[in-house]
Chains A and B, each alone.
Chain A
Amino acid sequence: MSHHEARLVKCFRAVFAGLSDEQIRHANSTNVEGWDSVATVTLITLVEEEFGVEIDADDLEGFGSFDSLLAHLS
Chain B
Amino acid sequence: MKLIEALNIISEISGAEAQPFRVALVSGFTPLHLQTFLHAELGQLFPVHRVEVTTGSYGDLTGTLENLNTNELDAVAVVLEWSDLDPRLGIRQLGGWSPGDLGSILERASIYLEHVGSLMEKISRSLPMVISLPALPLVPIFLTAGWQSSDLELQLKGEIATFAAGVAQLDHVKLVNADRLDRASPPHSRFNAKSEWSTGFPYQLSHASALAHLLATLICNPLPKKGLITDLDNTLWNGIVGEVGADGVFWDQDHHSAPYGFYQQMLKALAEEGVLIAGASKNEPLTVAEAFNRPDLILPKESLTALEVSWRSKAEAVSRILKLWNVGADSVVFVDDSALELAEVKLTHPEMECLLFPYDDPQAIYELVWKLRDRFGRESISQEDRLRSHSIGSRAESGQRSEENGAGFSDALLESAEAEVTVSLRKDANDARALELINKTNQFNLNGKRITEAAWGKYLREPNTFMLTVSYKDRFGSLGKIAVMTGRVDESCVSVDTWVMSCRAFARRIEHQCLKAVFETLRKDQIVFDYAKTSRNGPITTFFSELLKEKPESNVTISRELFSANCPTLFHRVLELNNESPRSSLSEMF
- Name A residues whose Cβ lies closer than 8 Å to a Cβ of B: 10-11, 14-15, 17, 38, 41-42, 45-46, 49-50, 57, 60
Q: Which 7 A-B pairs have the closest CB atoms?
A: A17-B11, A14-B7, A57-B198, A14-B4, A46-B3, A41-B199, A49-B3
Q: Which of A14, A17, A38, A57 gathers most chain B CB within 10 Å?
A: A14
Whether B194 pairs with A49 at a CB distance below 8 angstroms is no
Q: Can you list 15 pairs linking A and B with CB atoms under 8 Å apart?
A: A11-B4, A14-B4, A14-B11, A15-B7, A17-B7, A17-B11, A41-B32, A45-B3, A45-B195, A46-B7, A49-B4, A49-B205, A50-B4, A57-B197, A57-B198
**B193-214 interface (Cβ within 8 A of A):** 194-195, 197-199, 201, 205
Which partner residue on chain A sits nearest B192 by CB separation?
A45
12 extra interchain contacts, Cβ-Cβ under 8 A, other than A14-B4, A46-B3?
A10-B4, A14-B8, A15-B7, A38-B32, A42-B7, A42-B33, A45-B205, A49-B3, A49-B205, A50-B4, A57-B194, A57-B197
Q: Does B256 contact A (CB under 8 A)?
A: no
What is the chain B residue whose CB lies nearest that of A40?
Answer: B199
What CA separation (Å) do A17 and B11 show in the bound complex? 7
Of the listed residues B8, B33, B195, B199, the one surrounded by the most CB atoms of chain A closer than 10 A to its CB is: B199
Contacts of B201 in A (CB 8 A): 41
Q: In chain B, residues 22-66, which have Cβ atoms closer than 8 Å to a Cβ of chain A?
A: 32-33, 36
Interface residue B188 (Cβ < 8 Å from any Cβ of A): no
Taking CB atoms, residues of chain B closer than 8 Å to A42 are: 3, 7, 32-33, 36
- Looking at the assembled complex, report how far the CB atom of A42 sits from the nearest CB atom of chain B, in whole angstroms: 7
Given contacts A10-B4, A14-B4, A14-B11, A45 and B33 within 8 Å (CB-CB) = yes
- Tell me whether B549 is interfacial, beta carbon within 8 Å: no
Binding site for A on B (CB under 8 A): 2-4, 7-8, 11, 32-33, 36, 194-195, 197-199, 201, 205
A45 to B209, CA, bound (A): 14
Distance (whole angstroms) from the CB of A23 to the closest CB of chain B:
15
A15 vs B8: C-alpha distance when bound (angstroms): 8
Residue in chain A with minimal CB distance to B36? A42
In the assembled complex, which residues on chain A have CB atoms less than 8 Å from the CB atom of B11? Answer: 14, 17
Cα distance A38–B8 in the bound complex, in angstroms: 17
Min distance, Cβ B92 to any Cβ of chain A, angstroms: 14
State in angstroms the CA–CA spacing of A14 and B6 once bound together.
9
A11: chain B residues at CB < 8 Å are 4
Q: How far is the CA of A31 from the CA of B91 in the complex (A)?
A: 36
- Identify the closest chain A residue to B205 (Cβ): A49
A38 vs B2: C-alpha distance in the bound complex, in angstroms?
18
- Cβ distance B202 to chain A, nearest Cβ, rounded Å: 13
CB distance from A4 to the nearest CB of B (A): 15
CA distance A49 to B204 in the complex (A): 11
Least distance between B169 CB and chain A CB atoms (Å): 37
Interface centre among B4, B11, B33, B194 (most CB of A within 10 A): B4
Closest Cβ of chain A to B31, distance in Å, is: 10
Please give, as numbers and ranges, the residues of chain A lying within 8 Å of B2 by CB-CB distance. Answer: 49
**Chain A neighbourhood of B36, CB < 8 A:** 42
Contacts of B205 in A (CB 8 A): 45, 49
Name the A residues within 8 Å of B197 (CB-CB). 57
CA distance in complex: A49, B206 (Å): 10
> Min CB distance, B7 to chain A, in Å?
4
Residues of B within 8 A of A60 (CB): 198
CA gap between A11 and B195 in the complex, in Å: 19
Contacts of B4 in A (CB 8 A): 10-11, 14, 46, 49-50
| In the bound complex, CA of A49 to CA of B2 (Å) | 8
CA distance A41 to B7 in the complex (A): 14
- Residues of chain B within 8 A (CB-CB) of A14 are 3-4, 7-8, 11
User: A60 vs B33: C-alpha distance in the bound complex, in angstroms?
Assistant: 17
Which residues from A are CB-within-8-Å of B198? Answer: 57, 60
Interface centre among B195, B198, B201, by most chain A C-beta atoms within 10 angstroms, is B198
Q: CA of A46 to CA of B8 in the docked complex: distance in angstroms?
A: 12
When C-beta atoms are compared, the residue in chain B nearest to A17 turns out to be B11
Contacts of A41 in B (CB 8 A): 32, 199, 201
- A11 vs B4: C-alpha distance in the bound complex, in angstroms? 7
Minimum C-beta distance from A51 to chain B (A): 11
Contacts of A45 in B (CB 8 A): 3, 33, 195, 205
A12–chain B nearest beta-carbon distance, Å = 11
Q: How far is the CB of A63 from chain B (nearest CB, A)?
A: 14
Chain B residues, Cβ within 8 Å of A50: 4
From residue A9, how far is it (CB to closest CB) to chain B in Å? 12
CB proximity of B40 to chain A, nearest CB, Å: 11
Taken together as a complex, chains A and B put the C-alpha atoms of A41 and B195 apart, in Å, by 10
CA of A49 to CA of B205, assembled, Å: 9
Instruction: Give A46 to B33 CA distance when docked, in angstroms.
Output: 10
Measured CB to CB, the nearest residue on chain B to A60 is B198
**What's the least CB distance linking B75 to chain A, in Å?**
23
- Within the assembled complex, what's the spacing in Å between the Cα atoms of A42 and B115? 33
Q: How many Å from the CB of A5 to the closest CB on chain B?
A: 16
Closest to B14 in A: A17
Docked Cα-Cα span, A50 to B195, in Å, equals: 17
Measured CA separation A14–B3 after assembly (Å)? 9
A38 CB contacts on chain B under 8 angstroms: 32
